[in-house]
Amino acid sequence: MARYSKTLHRIFKRDGILSRHLPHYQPRRAQFDMANTVLDCLLHDTHGLIEAGTGTGKSFGYALPAAWWALKREKRVIISTNTITLQQQLLEKELPMVKKVLATLDRELTDDFRFELAKGRGNYICKRRLQETLQASLSAEMTDGPVLRKLADALPGLTKGDRDDVPFPLPSSLFAVIQGDGEDCMGKNSPFFKECFIQNARKKLQDAQVIVVNHALFFTDLLLRRQGASILPNYDAVIMDEAHRVEDQVTNQFTYHISLEEINQLFYRFLRRRTPWARELDAPELHQQMEALRARIIVRLTEIFAPLARALAERPQNEYLLKRRISDPDELKPLFKEWKHAFIDKRKELELAEGESEAIIGLRRYITQIEQMEQMVWHILANAFPTEWATWVSYEEPKDAPDLLVRDDFAWAVTLHLYSAPIDVSGILRQELFNEKTVIMTSATLTTQGDFSFVANRMGIDDYKSMETPSPFNYEKQAMLLVPENVPAPTDAEFEPFLAAAMKEIVSATRGRTFLLFTSYSQMNRVYEGMKPWLAKYNLTGILHRPELSRDAMLAQFRSGKNHVLFGCESFWEGVDVPGDDLVCVVIAKLPFPVPSDPLTQARTKRLETMNKNSFHEYMLPFSILRLKQGFGRLIRTRRDKGMVIILDTRLLTKPYGARVLDSLPPAKLTRSMDDLHAFFAR
C-alpha cells in the first residue's frame, strides 16, 4: 500500500500532477483520504462505505484510484450511478481528467486505458427495424415519414447510434418502433449484424477497464446472471455512487408484476409475430391453439381481478397490502402447463428437423418467459412467503377507460395490477453481490449521526471499511437553517393553509430563486394552485414539477430568470446542482418519512415489529434523515454559495427525535424566528 500512497500523494499534493492539469488547483485533504481508502479497499478485497460531503470531489476521488488499480492489476471496474447527470460528469469531465493524470504517471500503460458508458439496447437504433419501418412508410402514409428519411440520411454519420447521437429530435412514438428490442433481435441472422450499433457498443465494453452504468442496468444484469445470461462483461469490483438509492433500485428489479396486459403481451409475442422466431414459424394449428388458450386464461383471471378492482375503486387508497391469498393458484396450473408444453413440443420437432437455429434459441427463451410468468402468477395469487415478500394490489385507471357505469368485467379487470417485492433485499445483495465482488458504496448521505449501520444492515454488508469525510464548506457562515416555532403539526387541518402562507412570506423575501420541496404530489399541486394567482400578482413565476416533463428542462427554466420558484417532489430532493445565486433558498414542507400507507413500508415496519424491533427508530427515522440530508444538500454547492434552508415541520423542535435529526444535518446556524428570514435576505 505504501507505494500506491506515494503515487496518490504525487497526484494530489499542492504542486503535484493534478495541479498541472487544473488551473488554480487547491488540494482537498478529504479527497486525498478518500482516494487512499478506495485504493486500499480494492487492493485488499474489502468492501467500503464512504460518506463524502458535498464539495469533497468524490467522483474524482474514486475514479482515479479505480482506474489506476484496474490498469496495474489488469482488472475491470464498474462505476454505477443513479442519475444521468452524474454519468455525464464522469464521462465528460472526471474520466478524461483521470486519463490525463495517469498518462503523466505512465504513458505506455495509459495508452491502453479505455472507459465506456453501458446502456440498455433500448437506447440504440436497430438498423433492421429502421429499414423495415422506412419501407413500410413508402407503401403506407406515415406522419413520421419525413423524419424517418432524414434519419436514414443521417445514419452513416452516427458514431454510437443511440438516441442522443441523433442531431435532431425523434418523436418517442417513432423511436419505440426502431429502437433495439431483445425480443425482436435476429442476432447473427440480421443483415446488419456486422454493423449493428448494439453489437459495436458491446464490443467496446469488452475493451474497457472502467464501465459506467446506471443502477437500474447494473441490477438488471445482476438478475440476469442468476439465469446464466448477462448484459455487462465480467468485472472485478463495483463502485456505487449515489448509493443511498441502491435499496430502491434492487427492490424495483426484483419486484414481480402481473396484469391482464402483461399476460396478453406475452401471448402476442407469438400470436402477432413480434419476434423473428415467431415470424419464421409456420404453425397454424399452434396459432389456433394459443388463441383459444389465451382466451381461457384471460377469462379466468378476469373472474378473479374484476371484483378486486371494483372494491378498490370505492376505497380511499389505490393500493392495499394483501393479508391472505387471492385465490387458489393451482387452478391455473393446467392452463400454463398446456401453454408451456405446446412450445416445448414445437421446439423438439424443430430440433429433430433442423438442429440448432435462431428459431430454436428464441423458442427456448419464450418457454423460459412462460415459466417465469407462471411463477409470478402463482406467487402473487397465493400471497406466497408473506413474512419475506410484500404482495399488494393496485387500482390503476387507464387514460381511455370507459365510464364506471358502463364497464364490463373485462374493463374492470384491466385496471388491476398486482405486485410482489422482497421486504428485505439484504440477503439478495449479500449472496449475489457482496459475497462475489469487492463493492465500494459512496454518497453524500450514508450516515445518521455519523453511524453507517442503518445503510450497512439494509444492504447486507457485514464487513466493511468506513470513512466519513466532512464537506469543505463553511456551513456556519454560508448557510442558515430556519425551523419556525409555534406552527401547526403536519397532521393538523391547519397545516396546509399554514404552508401556503409561510411559502408566500418566504418567497416575498427571496423574490424567487427558491425550491419548495414536498413529500406528496397531491399536496404540492394544491399549494401550487393556491399560490399561482399570488405569484402572478407579484411578478413571480411558479414552475410545477410534472412527472411528464424532464427534470433538466424544468431546471433550465428555473435558471433562466431570478424570479422563478420551483415546486418540486421526489427527484428534486437529490441529484440537482444549481450553484451560485440562481438558488438561494430551499424550503422543505415536512420531514420526508416513508408513506405509512405504502404497502412496502407497511410490510417492512411489520417485519421489524415481529422481530421485536422499533420500526420507527430502526427504519422510518433513519430513512427520513438520509432523505432530509439530500434535500438540504441542494442549497450549498460551492464555497461561494450562500442561502437558507427552511424546514416547516415543528416536530424537529417538539419531538424527542428532533435533536437526532438536527444533529445529522450540516452545521448551519439554527434559528427559530421568521424575523431572521427577512434579515438574511435584506442584506
591 and 512 share a domain? yes
Mean pLDDT on 151-175: 90
Mean pLDDT on 388-392: 97
Least confidently predicted of 157-166, 232-241, 508-517, 591-600? 157-166
Phi, psi of 452 (to 5 degrees): -90, -5
SS3 50: strand
Expressed as residue numbers, the domain containing 300 is 256-422
382 and 401 share a domain? yes
Which H/E stretch holds residue 622?
helix 621-632
**What confidence tens digit (pLDDT) does each residue in 662-674 have?**
999 999 999 999 9
**Residue where one domain finishes, among candidates 441, 469, 497:** 469
% of the chain surpassing 90 pLDDT: 77
481 and 453 share a domain? no
Reported confidence tier of residue 184, pLDDT bands at 50, 70, 90:
confident
Mean pLDDT on 162-170: 89
Domain-embedded: residue 580: yes
**What confidence tens digit (pLDDT) does each residue in 276-322 have?**
888 888 899 999 999 999 999 999 999 999 999 999 988 888 899 99
The residue with greater pLDDT, 473 or 146, is 473
36 and 159 share a domain? no
569 and 462 share a domain? no
Domain-embedded: residue 199: no
Mean pLDDT on 233-237: 97
Residue 411 has pLDDT above 80, yes or no: yes
Residue 140 has pLDDT above 80, yes or no: no
**Residue where one domain finishes, among candidates 384, 401, 422:** 422
> Average pLDDT, whole number, for the chain?
92
Amino acid at 325: R
In the numeric block, which cell numbers belong to residue 225?
A: 446472471
CA–CA distance, 470 with 28 (Å, rounded to integer): 11
Full strand arrangement of the beta sheet holding 416-422? 256-258, 416-422, 389-395, 319-321
Mean pLDDT on 553-574: 92
493 and 546 share a domain? yes
Reported confidence tier of residue 358, pLDDT bands at 50, 70, 90:
confident
Reported confidence tier of residue 4, pLDDT bands at 50, 70, 90:
low
Least confidently predicted of 21-30, 45-54, 198-207, 652-661? 21-30
Reported confidence tier of residue 254, pLDDT bands at 50, 70, 90:
very high
Domain count, the chain: 4
Domain-embedded: residue 99: yes
Residues with Cβ < 8 Å from 431, sequence gap 6 or more? none
Mean pLDDT on 537-542: 95
Mean pLDDT on 434-455: 94
The pLDDT assigned to 1 comes to 41
What is the CA 57 to chain-centroid distance, rounded? 22
**Residue where one domain finishes, among candidates 155, 170, 194:** 194
The answer to whether the CB of 503 falls within 8 A of the CB of 670 is no
The pLDDT assigned to 2 comes to 41
Residue 639 has pLDDT above 60, yes or no: yes
Residue 488 has pLDDT above 90, yes or no: yes
pTM (2 d.p.): 0.91
Residue 406 has pLDDT above 50, yes or no: yes
Beta bridge partners of 320: 393
The pLDDT assigned to 405 comes to 61
DSSP conformation letters of 186-234: -GGGSTTGGG-HHHHHHHHHHT-SEEEEEHHHHHHHHHHHHTT--SSPP
453 and 490 share a domain? no
